[in-house]
Structure 1
């Protein structure tokens, strides 16, 4: 078989592996590092076909993700290594399946994102919830160096990040804003389950228009966190809309407050560096869902225009993601 054919089959194999793992994720069968699946019992409990579930697991045995354990299946060493990161599957693939499953209709303009097409928000929320421990490790380290009393989480999703921040001290209070009702409901439930409902306010609203939130709700906020949110505003509202939002943030945190912004940098005009993982895909996904990534220098310029300054830059531990620690310019 020729080398080009080998390469093409590598791409198609990746598709089938991804689809198989995502199916198991959606069934709730990709658990912790010690997951063990009995196809008969699992199929009966989930109302699915035991023969097809076994066929999926047998396929993933061949691909090195699972091994047979009697009549059941458990992770191989490789599958166990991947376990902390399976949340990327619904985030990167499942959430945008409605878009890329209808690729040609979107290209032709028969389907338009934001009009008659949208991503699967529940997949995004579920994936982010699973990945938060991994994604937030860097932010937690940065927050150790910041004194704050109130935190605002823009695009709060499941609320788990907000809960993790509030657990740092019983004196902290938090506000979460999200434009998805489902996310707000999940956040309220998660925070209530954590016993934190009395210290939090979850608002269904637009993270890009903080000035439209109820008066006084942000009075105690001196730390604002935005994880992969600002690029959505960048496309929808243009550069001017981003700068306006950043000015609102500057007004919220005031002198001495901090803004933690996590984003993925757009690929430079000169092209992607060799070995760049998922960033080209991330950029493509966002072009098709009407969101525009910006480069680090572009973000610095917009922050400066809004009266903010970057105090520190750190890698965020995902793709080419970075975190800006930002303060109000004196």
Structure 2
């Protein structure tokens, strides 16, 4: 066969205009962008299909990596692509994670990709419709809230949980309330780690609260953990278990309301003033993303713009609305060198002396 190939004339066409065009294309980085798009979807596919979970540092036969009902040939080709991209390596018909590329299939890197490609994928894929007015966010297009919750749970665990642990120790908190708890990740993590702690999760979404309660029962934590349906900004209507907490935490729950102006945010925060004043030693922690329109935050900025959310704010507006609400910010913490830049505002009643 090789002799036949060699006997056929092979001509390489060197067209100067074509070379100039594709040199220009190469300079744009378009090929790398397209390749990154394919790789992002591959990472999500490997994770969601369960293939990534079956991969390890040890050699695993292909037959053991194929999901139930899956096709060996397709999965094999998927892994061959992943091998080219440095995620896995093969030996015969067996596969294992490659180093260091296999780390991309880890929980946190996959959550970063999923935050944008999965949770905000329906929005980003409809930029044309949103920009032309043919589509409107909230009516025709929505982010995937279920995926957003899953991704944020993983991401906050990696970014902010150590801060929360430090705050619990600093204020000797025995009861913690997570405002806008979603499916309960933070509450369950805290209760799992600290057997003395009691925790409550509050969310306005009934389905999220139902799932969080189910998770607590499955882990046997229902004696110290509870989840309730309620409005985070109407503490007067919270059940007693929520009002009796001494550390209240809200993660990313308030900044969207800046779309209604600073007075509106101050009014929302004012609802906590009476609660904190009536419980000496209690603390409200607002964990809010800070927005810098730079290369690090450009993606975060865009998804907020496309979904018509109120933008995350710098610290000055936050301190202004906290004071206007009759509250006092005692300390601001931040965690450097992470993808999402959060500020943690430790807030008490203004009536409490410094």
TM above 0.5: yes
Deviation digits for residues 137-178 of structure 1 (CA, Å, limit 9, x no counterpart): 232233221222322112212212112223455453322122
Rounded to whole Å, the distance in 1 between the matches of 2:265 and 2:97 is: 44
* CA shift in 2, pair 1:215/1:99, >3 Å: same
For structure 2, list consecutive stretches of 5 or more residues without a partner in the other structure: 1-21
Partner of 2:344: 323
- Residues matched between the structures, number: 320
TM-score for the superposition, normalised by structure 1 = 0.85
Alpha carbons 1:160, 1:190 under 8 Å: kept: no
- 2:327/2:348 contact within 8 Å kept: yes
Candidates 300, 313, 323, aligned match of 1:282: 300
1:30 paired residue number: 52
Contact 1:311 1:325 in 2 (8 A): yes
Distance 1:4 1:150, change over 3 A: same
1:54 is aligned to 2:76 = yes
Q: Secondary structure at the match of 1:162?
A: helix
Q: Does 1:307 align with 2:326?
A: yes
Deviations 1:234-276 (A, max 9, x none): 33x5433322222223333334211222222122xxx52xxx4
Counterpart for residue 272 of structure 2: 249
Q: TM-score, normalised by structure 2?
A: 0.80
> Residue 207 of structure 1 aligns with which residue?
232
- Name the counterpart of 1:87: 111
Show structure 1 runs of 5+ residues with no match. none
Q: C-alpha distance in 2, partners of 1:41/1:78?
A: 23
> Between Structure 1 and Structure 2, whose CA radius of gyration is higher?
2
Runs of at least 4 residues off by over 6 Å? none
Which SS does the other structure have where 1:201 is aligned?
strand
Question: Matched residues in 1 for 2:54 and 2:271: separation?
Answer: 41
Q: Which residue of 2 aligns with 1:153?
A: 178
Deviation string, structure 1 residues 156-209 (Cα, Å, up to 9, x no partner): 122121122234554533221223333222211121223222333322343344
Aligned pairs (5 A) from 1:107-256: 107-135=131-159, 136-167=161-192, 169-211=194-236, 213-235=237-259, 237-254=260-277, 255-256=280-281
8 Å Cα contact 2:176-2:246 kept in structure 1: yes
**1:69, CA displacement in angstroms?**
4.2
